[in-house]
Structure 1
Amino acid sequence: MRISEFRNAKAEDRFRTAYEQTLTSLWPGPRTTLDIPTTFGVTRVYRTGPETGDPIVLLPGSGGNALMWHRYIDDLAENHPVIAVDTVGEPGASVQTSPIADGRDGAAWLDELLTALELTAAHVVGCSYGGWLAINHQIHHPGRMATLTLVDPAGLADVGRRFYTWLIAGGLASAAPRPFRPRLARLVGNSAILETELMGLVRASMGFRRALPLAYTFSDEELRSLHVPSLFLLGARSALHDSAQVADRIRRLAPSARVEIVPDAGHALPADQPTLVTNRILNTASQKPS
């Protein structure tokens, strides 16, 4: 089995330079940088906010890193410690050293990370693939999460051709000259391509070979095992799945979970509705486990 890594030293240097520039530009405020060793590699996390309080842990989507949450940090960190994670195996400052074969391995990595950070009641927020990892953790290692906020998470339905078409269209649109991107973003339904600095970082990551497992669909039994207070935020126009069908499935299998279908939003929900997502994260973090 392979691990995620850069094609060569030149590709890695190009990405590292772009990453540091983007970090400085998008997150100029105070932060503590931690490199946490795990069985699967060293994981980079950034911590900010008050020293005490209920921590919020942010997991990015596939191909992303902690910087995808840059516009959320100040609001979330006003009353909560915030820990933004570069997932091992994704293009970021973490370095993978052992393969992650499946969701169980992904859950083990996340459990090692939360244990090393001494978090026993974390409010975990997972976007897309990060949501899939968070659900896997709750299935295989329950007890460390106080709440879950899942932002258009993967693993709730089989992925079809529509999603891969959306990904390709978004990639092509992001390479267009900047004046054309607003119109293209509306056309392809992906407002994330308007994040100019992040799109530059995405282009710099083209020399990164991602080798993480596909987000397979959770079984009914697995979803029934979710008992932690959870909010599923689904984009009404998500290309990842049929949000209405997914919402029905969650309500049937995990009746204690809350489900919200967000109008005027697609799979790029954090970019489409940042204020709403911020409010929902904070509202969920205010809950206490039953």
Structure 2
Amino acid sequence: MGWLNDHINLISFIAAIIILVLTVTICWFYIKKMQTETNDGELTEHEWDGIREFHNDVPVGYLLALFGVLVWAIWYILFGYPLNSYSQIGEYNEEAQAHSQKFDTVYANLDSDKLKLMGEQIFLVQCSQCHGITAEGIDGKAQNLTHWGKVDGIMDTIRHGSAGLKNHEGEEYGAMPEGLLTEEKDIQAVAHYVMSEIVGDVGGKYDEELVKHGKALYHSEEIGTCFTCHGQNGEGVEGVGPSLQNYGKTEFLANVLKYGKKGNIGFMPSFEYLGLSNKEVEALQSFIASRHTIQ
């Protein structure tokens, strides 16, 4: 009977006994009443197929039971089981958070190869079902992540648009329509500019002429398709368009994992329930960034 040491279980057990006793008592009362009661009560004007309704007051027992339930509910919420008291879900969340902090501490100094290996293991278990074991998106069934954080990814977004991204509060940005730029050179130029000067991909090789042309297009008031939504420096506009400065980085990926994304291809659910640590998200980002476009 150790389960009775939990006061919530004990209260529930006592309440069940009381309900059972009341049910039996009331049923027995009305059974006896049906055996002895005569139908000499006052009838109302309501009639259905020759059957008229008795004019009965609300039973006192019903009112007392309703009042008792209301009092018990208020007591339960405020005193019996307050919101900040112990719960198994709360205990699990605390343990998961402590484990994540310990995990980040133990694996804080992983080299790039081990970090990538960790990310690959997470990807194969959690992501490959939709994006494929090589991250190419299984013939368009999901986003091709070999483009993620690269010029190809920016170009793909300009061509096909984007939808479903959310900010850090979970509020959805406006959708970006497809076809804002149609000339391939313009698309390539804006992608080179964004990756080179906004994202700051110092390791990439970008054509200076394309970067210059892309910068002019990005800030063009005639086109008005980039800086109006993403800001002059790609910092994003609240409620309109996300920051491009974080594109292809851990922070961007962490936000997508937290809130999911209902995009142009399909729906990616939130993975917040996994409780991935910061190091695990960083590892996943490292692995995805290492993928190369499949020819």
Tell me the TM-score normalised to structure 2 length: 0.24
Q: Which has the larger radius of gyration?
A: 2
More helix by share: 2
Tell me the TM-score normalised to structure 1 length: 0.25
More strand by share: 1
